[in-house]
Structure 1
Amino acid sequence: MVLPVQPDVVDNTAHIVQVALTPIFLLTGVGTLLNVFNTRLARVSDHNQHLGELLRADPDDKTRRWLQRHVARLQLRLWALDAAVALTAIAGAATCGTAFILFLGSLRDRSVVSWLVISFGVALVCVVLALVAFVADTVLAWHGLRREGPLPRGPG
C-alpha cells in the first residue's frame, strides 16, 4: 500500500535542501582557497628557508643586505598567508555550522534565523578577509619582484 505524500512535506524538504546548498557551495570554494593558500605558503616557506641557507654561507655585505630585504618581505608574506589560511579555516567552520543549524532548525521547527545570520555572516566576512590577506601577499610578491628582482636560485 502506498501512502499519500503531502505536498507541504515535499515542498518543505525541497526548500531545506535548496537552502542548504548555498553554504555547501561556499564550503567548496573555501576548500579550494585553502588549497591555493597552503600551496603558496609552502612555496614562500621554501624560499625563506633557501634564503636562510644563503645567509649562513656568509655572503659579502651588499649581498647580505639584499638577501635580508628578501627575507623581511617573505616574513610579511608568511604572515599574510598565515592569516589567509586561518581566516579561511574559520570560514569553513562557520559554513559547516550554518548547514548544521539549517538542518537542526528544520528538525526542531524553531526559529534559528539569528544563528543562521551570525554563522553565515562570519563565514562570508572571514572569506573576504582571507582574500584581502591573499591580495596583500600578492602585492608583496609583485612589489618584491619589481624592487629587488627574483629570489636567488639554489644549486641545480
Structure 2
Amino acid sequence: MNDLSDIAHLVELSVAPVFLLAGIGALLNVVTARLGRVVDRARNLEERLYAPRSDDEAARIRAELGSLDRRMLLAQRAIFLFSTAALLICLVVASIFIGEFVDLAVPALVAVIFIATMFAMIAGLALFLMEISIATKVLRVRADLFAK
C-alpha cells in the first residue's frame, strides 16, 4: 500500500458512503428542526393550560400535548437511528482504509456494517413518517373545528 493510485482507489471507494453521510446529515437537520418546533409548541400549550380556561379548551390542550409528546418521542428515536446510521457509515469508511493498511480482509465486515446502516435508516425513516402522520392528523382535526 505504498502506491498513490492505491490510496486514490480507497478514496474512490469511500466517496459513496460519504455522500450517504451528507444525506443523513440533511435528514438529521430536518428531524431536529421538527423536534424543536414540537418542543416550542408544547411549552406554549403548557403555559396556556395553567391560565384560566374552560374545561373544553383545557381538554383540547391536553389532547394536543399528548400528541406532541408522542411526536417528540418518535423524533428523538429517529434522531438516534439517523445518528447511529451516520456512525456506522463512518465505520464503513474507516474499515475500508484500516483493512487496506493492516492487510485485513474486510469486505464482509464492510457489507455487514453497511446493511446495519440501511436498517437504521429504514427504521429512522419509518419513525419520521409516523411523526409526520401524527402531525397531519392533528392539523386535519383542527381544520375541521374551523370549517363551517
TM-score by length of 2: 0.89
Residue 36, structure 1, aligned to residue 23, structure 2: no
Pick aligned residue for 2:122 from 124, 128, 131:
128
Ranges in structure 2 where 5+ consecutive residues have no aligned partner: none
Contact map agreement 1:87 1:130 (CA 8 A) in 2: yes
Rg bigger for which structure? Answer: 1
Distance (Å, rounded) in 2 between the aligned partners of 1:30 and 1:19: 18
Distance (Å, rounded) in 1 between the aligned partners of 2:42 and 2:76: 14
Pick aligned residue for 2:84 from 79, 90, 107:
90
Shift of 1:128: 1.5
Query: Greater helix share, 1 or 2?
Result: 2
Shift of 1:11: 5.0
Pick aligned residue for 2:73 from 79, 94, 106:
79
Shift of 1:119: 1.6
Q: 4+ residue runs of structure 1 moved beyond 4 angstroms?
A: none
Distance (Å, rounded) in 2 between the aligned partners of 1:149 and 1:48: 19
Identity of aligned residues (%): 27
**Cα distance per residue 1:47-97 (max 9 Å; x no partner):** 001110011113111001111111111111101100110001101110101
Residue 27, structure 1, aligned to residue 21, structure 2: yes
The amino acid across from 2:91 in the alignment is G
Distance (Å, rounded) in 2 between the aligned partners of 1:125 and 1:137: 18
Ranges in structure 1 where 5+ consecutive residues have no aligned partner: 1-8, 151-156
Residue 109, structure 1, aligned to residue 103, structure 2: yes
Identify the residue that residue 40 of structure 2 maps to in structure 1.
46
Identify the residue that residue 153 of structure 1 maps to in structure 2.
none
SS at match of 1:33: helix
The amino acid across from 1:148 in the alignment is R
Q: What CA RMSD, in Å, does the superposition of the two structures yield over aligned residues?
A: 1.7
**Cα distance per residue 1:2-61 (max 9 Å; x no partner):** xxxxxxx45533332221111101111111111111111000000001110011113111
Distance (Å, rounded) in 2 between the aligned partners of 1:50 and 1:21: 44
Contact map agreement 1:70 1:148 (CA 8 A) in 2: no
Aligned length: 143
The amino acid across from 1:140 in the alignment is I
Distance (Å, rounded) in 2 between the aligned partners of 1:90 and 1:47: 27
Residue 56, structure 1, aligned to residue 50, structure 2: yes
TM-score by length of 1: 0.85
